[in-house]
Amino acid sequence: MKPAIGLEMQGITHHFGTLRVVDDVSLSIAPGELVCLLGPSGCGKTTTLRIAAGLESPGSGTVTLNGTLVSGNGIHLPPERRHVGFLFQDYALFPHLRVLGNVEFGVESLAPAQRKARAMEMLEQVGMADYAGAWPHQLSGGQQQRVALARALAPAPALMLLDEPFSGLDKRLRDQIRDETLQVLKRNKVATLMVTHDPEEAMFMADRVAVMRQGKVVQFDRPETLYNAPADPFVAAFFGEVNQWTVRAQGGTAHTALGDFAVPHDGEVEVLARPEALRLVDDGAIVGRVLAARPLGAVSLLHLRLADKWDVRARLACRTLPAEGEIVRLAVDPTQVFLYPRT
């Protein structure tokens, strides 16, 4: 069998004292693939990334990089022997080196002419070649981040590790730098592991997302699968606001204000519906009273009461907003309604 290329983490568990912060995590990243670790604060994302980097030695499990065992079974290779590149929130450029010197630093082992050529090639890729002679303090935050990316990629690492790399940038710049970074990573076909707590960022950047909770990966899937087929209520709610109720299913059916849904087991069922699951339709089967209506720009937010007892928030495109107290008819997109047995 050919050894796996890219990153392979198998059964990683790690404790700090008695606290299990990483709990049997397994994931793989192919060259050219970007995987996000996504989850709430303290769920173990950064520790998992640090284990991949070699900054932390896992209590158990193995890490393999391009087919070489780098952690586990008594082996622990330090970060400098793993061929990994880092991009963190603070760009950490060397203040005493110009931009070119910063990028050359990563490829010191090359002969001077090749070193300069490689550094300039990377600066071209991130659109910073004109700033080769500048000092880091003369650059904006976004420009410093581009140089940091060039520096990290110059040695052609086997793995790139990104920890909340855009959180120090303001929103407009963040979107632009995020887009550019993604293109450069893809062009260089490097396996990338990125930590974020922002679901939108994960959806935008990642080929696959590992959603973590309390040290465990609860779902590892493509962004559209996470959004359209979340494994549990936690994942469904993490990707955006949801309406949530508990009902009792009988005879394989859960009766809800949004209609009847078939379920595999009777008993208590959690029903989650995304606000965009509802549409205003003249002959819709669902009748609701408008409690509040607010324009948000491209869409409007309606707060409705269904069947006199189910409150629901709907996000929908409508030019003229219904008035408060008005009775409206709605239809539901059943693919945006999720049912789970209550645990």
CB of 152 to ligand ATP, least distance (A): 20
Helix and strand numbers, DSSP H then E, in the chain: 8, 21
Q: Which residues contact 283 (CB under 8 A, 6 or more apart)?
A: 329
- Least separation in angstroms between residue 20's CB and ligand ATP is 9
State which residue, 178 or 197, has the beta carbon closest to ligand ATP.
197
Residue with smaller CB distance to ligand ATP, 44 or 142: 44
Nearer to ligand ATP, 44 or 157 (CB): 44
- The token duo for 306 is 């269904």
Helix (H) or strand (E) holding 141: helix 141-153
What CA–CA distance (Å, rounded) separates 29 from 32? 8
Give SS3 for 297: coil
Contacts of 134 (CB under 8 A, 6+ apart): 98, 99
Task: CB nearer to ligand ATP: give 110 or 237.
Answer: 237
Taking the C-alpha atoms of residue 247 and residue 337, their distance in angstroms, rounded to an integer, is 14
Q: State the minimum distance, in angstroms, from the CB of residue 181 to ligand ATP.
A: 19
Cα four-point dihedral sign 84, 88, 90, 91: positive
Q: How far is the CB of 48 from ligand ATP (least distance, A)?
A: 7
Residues in Cβ contact with 102 at an 8 Å cutoff, skipping those fewer than 6 apart: 93, 94, 136, 147, 151
Angle between helix 171-187 and 141-153 (nearest 10): 20
Complex with ligand ATP: residue 167 or 335, whichever CB lies closer: 167
Amino acid letter, residue 61: G
Q: Which residues bind ligand ATP (CB under 6 A)?
A: 16, 21, 39, 41-47, 197
User: What is the closest distance, in whole angstroms, from the C-beta atom of residue 70 to ligand ATP in the complex?
Assistant: 19
**CA 246, CA 249: separation in Å to the nearest integer?**
10
* CB-nearer residue toward ligand ATP: 44 or 275: 44
Least distance from C-beta 45 to ligand ATP, angstroms? Answer: 4
Pull the structure tokens for residue 111. Answer: 């002969």
Secondary structure letter of residue 42 according to DSSP: T
Give the shortest CB-80-to-ligand ATP separation in angstroms.
20
How far is CA 256 from each of CA 268, 316, 336, rounded to the nearest angstrom?
Answer: 12, 20, 14
Q: Which is nearer to ligand ATP, 19 or 75 (CB)?
A: 19
Nearest CB to ligand ATP, comparing residues 76 and 197: 197
Give min distance, CB of 283 to ligand ATP, in A. 47
